[in-house]
Each structure stands twice: as structure tokens, then as C-alpha cells.
Structure 1
């Protein structure tokens, strides 16, 4: 008698299951249509429950828009909280400035201005030459020494500048700068609270300054160690470099406590609004896509705003306060972490929108899901024929497939929500690993009705077994 192989039986089972599912859907649709067209249905079926009205749809739109608008504010608030409370994060943000060539040149120039304002090098050189000539040099020697006053003073200035520049560009300065940042982090908090003794000073017009006193003290000792004893005349000068000016900073000071608190909860509030907009929606799959796209659009606006803000900030800073190159470096350093987070959230929003579309009740995603399921079935059947089976574990995984998928999604979401700093690489790798886990779960699960590998072929007719 004719016999069928396991593969043939499995294909017939899958075809029958698909046909049964199609019939069930057709019957259910017919019943719903009949109940909707006639309140007194002969089948006695109750009228189906009405879906949510347009009011829920409007509420969903409002919640999603509020969440999307709060997202940029949450991004900035989270950055502010990190800068004001996390010393390691603060140092990591600003320490690279010590190794930037433009910043080093700016600090060197400003240090030389302070030294020359407090030590009259030409006068000291002239006094030395006059002291020598007073000892009784001849007319020719006196004229020669007088002619050397200018070059000698310029040479000393060059030597001092070389010493300052060498120190500022050294690893020792970078270490001193980093240590100063750690120590002055509390001073930054004091500045935001309006403490007049803070190392970082914020004036009423919003100008921000960094004190040069520690650098000048280091240079003074360095010059003395090189034998330039006149450097001992350099006093402990309380001088501040203005590195930026922002008229909004006094307002930030006034709302310092609110900024720290908002940084902790505002990002979660934005996320809660987006989630609520999806939950109350009439069509949640569509709402999920809309919320994800709205979040991505908000982050795109933030990225563009930073690009425009860099040009505006650089153009608004007077060259007399700070060179344009240094202003650009300071702005880039200040906003680097926020830009990175905005790009990462942008990619996350687009990824969620794509996932929501693929999982939604749309024709194309349905065909794609059927195609993926058939591919997983083919891989699983090939493994079964080769003697590779998950057996009872695979059957259990099939029964619990929804729970396992939700667990994978929750773990991926937890990584994105709680791991800091959030980066584009973290987002991409989390999504790749999540997709890989879901694909593996689809392959290793074992639907009911599949024959064990290695079992004998089954007969088609009842008499074939005898």
C-alpha cells in the first residue's frame, strides 16, 4: 500500500491547520456581520461590543503629542541632572578640553596677559642693563647694552610663553585639570545655588568664567625652578577667563532644584504619556507606530537644533571673549552627550515603529510573518530529519511562546531604559540580539503533531499497518 513520509504528513498537517484557521476566521466574520446587521439575529448571537469612540482616539493623539513634546525637555533635564550630581560624568564631559589645541592656546594667551600685566618684564630688563652700565662700561658697550634691552625683554617673554605653553600642553596639566574638575564639581553646584565663593562664577548677565589662579601658581613655580627668579614677583592673581555667555543661566540658577528633580522624573513622565496614548487608542498597533514616529521626530528636531545652535553660539560669542574655534569646541563638548542620546533615541523610535508595523494587522506584515514562520518550519524540519530535536522542551516553548516573546522584549526594553550612557551602538546591538533571540525561539519551538525524528513512515490506509 502507498505510504507517506514524515515530511509529507507534516506538510498535510500544516495545510489542514491553515485551512481550519481560515474557516474559523470566516465563520467569526460572518457571525459578527450578521449580528451587526440584525439586532434580533436568528442565531441568537449577542450584539458585539462597540469599539471605543472618537473621544478615545482624540485622547490618544493628545497623550502622544504631549509625550513627544516632553521628550526633548526630558533629554535636557536628564543631562542637567547628570552634570549637577554625577562627578564622574561631569569630569568625563569637560576633561577632554585640557587636551584640545585651541583651548590650550587660549589658556596660554590669557595666562601670558595676566603675567605681563603684573610683571613688567621690559622694566626689569632695563633695570638690569642700567645696573650693568652704572658699573662703568664704555660708551660703545653702553650703546650695545642699551640696544639689547628690547631683544632681551622679548626673549624673556618668549621664554616665559614657551614655559607656559609647555606646561599647558603637558600630561601634568591634563591631570591637574582633571583633578581640579573633580574638586570643583561641588563648586559648580554652589555656583548654581548662587554661592559667591564658587570657583566657577556666573555673573548677573550670564557670563561664565574659569579662574586662572591655579594655572598661574603652577607656572610661577615652574619659572622659578628654571632659574628665572623674577617670576617670584608674580602675585597670586585672582583672575577669571570668560569662556561663555548665556543670559538664561541666571534663570537656570533660580530653578536649579527643579532642574535636578526634573532630570530624575521628566523622561519617565514623557514615556508614560506615550505609553498611555497607545493604551487608550482605538487601534493600538497604529497608535504604537504613531507614538514611535512622534518620538523619533522629536529627537530629530533636537539633533537639528543642536546643529543650528552650534553656529548661533559660535557667532554670538565675541572674539574679545573667546576665539571662534574655542567657542565651537566648548559647545561641542557641552552638548556631545545630549546629541549622542538624541541620536540613540531617534534610532530606537524608528526601530519600534518598524517592529510595530511588522507585528500589526496589516496585509504586508501578515505575509511577511507567514513567510518567516514557513522558513522557521523548514529549518526545524531539516533539523528533525537530521536527528536534532528539542523534544518536550520544544513543545513547552511552543505552548509558552507568547510569554517568551514578551520576556525577550522586556529585557531589551530594560537594557535601553536603564543602561547608561545610552549610545547608538547599544541601541543597534540590543535590537540585533533581540531579533536573533526571537528567531531562535521560533526555530526551536516544537508545534504539536510533529513526529519524532527517526520514527518509521506511517501508512496512509488503515490496512497498511497489517
Structure 2
């Protein structure tokens, strides 16, 4: 194979590897970071203490209670204020954290079960247990109307039927890609470096390509955050949704920074190795060239003496 063909093949392999690297990181995050229940629960648990999330939950639960409790118009303001204060106080208790963990576990189990099965209906979560805990807290705070709050099996739709069909196809692809994309990226990288005429340049290109791919993935995460918040329905807290998005993508953002650091480090090492190799060649050339120069000068001086 000619040098030109080897260079072209090496470049194609390295470019393909650099494209697969961020896609592999994305698919691995989706399957192992979001799909794994233990990791998902560990990610969502700290959000129970997030101020924006607590405010959003306070507003949602209080509005739901006020829709079920009918009071005189002149009493709506004081009762609404009392309910919000009681719910906000509830969000600082251990019972709230238990309810938060239970709700997230139920939502995650329902979504993953629907993605792995072939059920056609929407994914719903029953919030009756959360309402029951709030009702008990309000009764403990001596709210007169707490006993009138109905505890019904209120189902909240997490995923619609149409969204579920699209996500199920993507999830099946991720299950395969989460392993094979990173493996293919490593194999293609090694093949591209071994085939290259100048392996140092191939390593440099791999480092720069990896860093560029990581930067593009980070940009895509930022764009995805903006699009997600812009598509929220009215009444949903953007700050709380942003906190949830940031928590869910924290592992993916960390992977971006690690890939970026790895790519830059590899590129810098390749550049330093090239500079050292050039310096070593110059030193060898200067060392081997000095005796020949001295011998030529001696011969010239001898010829001058003979002529004299």
C-alpha cells in the first residue's frame, strides 16, 4: 500500500473514531446513568433539598389541595397561605424525602418497564401515597380542613403513548450501542494509528479530534437544556426543571470534560514528542557534522602551506 493510500485510510479511521467517541459516551450515559435504577435514585435524591424543586412541589401540591377543599371566598386567601406554609414545612421533613424517593422510584420503574415491554398505553404514576403523607402532616399541624382532603388514586402521566413508541425504539438502539460504540471507537483509533505513515501525527489528530468531539457534545447538552426548558408547558417551574436537567446530565458533562482533557493531553504530548524528536535530530546532525568540517578545514590549511 502506498504512503498516500495509508494516510487516507488512517485519516478516515481516525475521523470515524472521533465521531463515535461522543456518541458512545452519550449512549453509555443514557443506558447506565439513566437506565440503572440505583444510579438514577442516587442522582435524584439530592434534589429533594433543592430550593427550586421544593418551591415547585409546594406550589403544585398546594394548588391540588385547594382544588379539592372548598371554602368560602373570603377564606381562600388565609387557607391558601396556611396550606402553602404547611406543605413547605412538610418539604423539610424526613417523610417528604421518603415520599420523594418513592415517587422517583415508581416513575423510573414504570418508564423502564414500559420501555422494555411492549405495552401500548401511557406510563402513569399514582401519587396517592404522597397526598396521604401531606394530609397527615396537615392534620399534625392542626389544620381544621385536613380531614376533608380526599386521598384518591391520582395518576400522573409520565410518558404518553406516542412518545413511548419513539423512545422504545431509541432505547433498544442504545442497549446495543452503549457497548459497541465505545469498543468500535477504541478499535478504529488503534487501527488508524497503526496504519498511519507518521504515527505521531496520527496521535496528534486523534487527540484534537477527541477534544473537538467532547466540545461538540458539551454544546449539544447546553442546547438540549435550552430546548427542554423552552418546551415546558405553562405553569411548570423552569428553575426546578433546570435543576433536574442539570442533575441528570451531570455525569454526561463530567464525561465531556474528561474526554476534552484526555484529547488535549494526548495532543500536547504528541506535539512535545515531535519537538523533542526534531531537537534530537538537530543535535545528532550537529555532532556528526563537526568532525567532517574540521577535517575539511585542516585539508584546506595543508594545501595552503604546500602552495606557499
Q: TM-score range by the shorter chain?
A: 0.7 to 0.9
Whole-Å Cα distance in 2 between the matches of residues 86 and 369 of structure 1? 54
Q: CA deviation at 1:186?
A: 2.8
- Cα displacement string for residues 138-185 of structure 1 (whole angstroms, at most 9, x for unaligned residues): xxxxxxxxxxx724x433332222111111233432243235434654
Distance 1:370 1:172 in 2: 73
Native 8 Å contact 1:52 1:282 kept in 2: no
* Correspondence 1:283 to 2:198: yes
Q: 1:254 aligns with which of 169, 190, 200?
A: 169
Deviation at 1:79, TM superposition (A): 0.5
Please list, as runs of the form range in 1=range in 2, the aligned pairs for 1:382-397 lying within 5 A after superposition.
none
TM-aligned CA deviation for residue 255 of structure 1: 3.2
TM-score, normalised to structure 1's length? 0.54
Deviations 1:373-411 (A, max 9, x none): xxxxxxxxxxxxxxxxxxxxxxxxxxxxxxxxxxxxxxx
Please state whether the residue corresponding to 1:173 is helix, strand or coil: helix
Please give the alpha-carbon distance, in whole angstroms, between the structure 1 residues aligned to 2:171 and 2:216: 25
Note if contact 2:204-2:270 (Cα within 8 Å) is conserved in structure 1: yes
How far the C-alpha of 1:278 sits from its partner, in A, is 1.0
Quote how far apart the aligned CAs of 1:115 are.
Answer: 1.3
**Does residue 155 in structure 1 map to residue 78 in structure 2?**
yes
Cα deviation code 1:340-384 (max 9, x no counterpart): 11111110111111222333xx3445538999xxxxxxxxxxxxx
Counterpart in the other structure of 1:312: 227
Determine if contact 2:115/2:167 at 8 Å carries over to the other structure.
Answer: yes
Within the candidate set 54, 59, 62, 1:104 is matched to: 54
1:114 to 50, 64, 67: 64
Corresponding residue for residue 358 of structure 1: 272
* 2:129 pairs with 1:214: yes
Cα gap change, 1:260 to 1:55, in 2 (>3 Å): same
Q: Distance in 1 between matches of 2:216 and 2:190?
A: 21
1:463 aligns with none
Identify the residue that residue 288 of structure 2 maps to in structure 1: none
Q: Which has the higher contact order (CA 8 A, sep 6+)?
A: 2
* TM-score for the superposition, normalised by structure 2: 0.79
- Alpha carbons of 1:93 and 1:75: their partners in 2 closer, same or farther (altered >3 Å)? same
Match of residue 111 from structure 2: 188
1:301 to 216, 230, 238: 216
Q: Please say which structure displays the higher CA radius of gyration.
A: 1
Q: Which has the higher helix share?
A: 2
1:339 is matched with which residue? 253
RMSD in angstroms over aligned alpha carbons? 3.1
> Does structure 2 conserve the Cα–Cα contact (< 8 Å) formed by 1:59 and 1:277?
yes
Aligned residues: 282
Aligned counterpart for 1:235 among listed residues 150, 154, 164? 150
Maintained 8 Å contact 1:78/1:263: yes
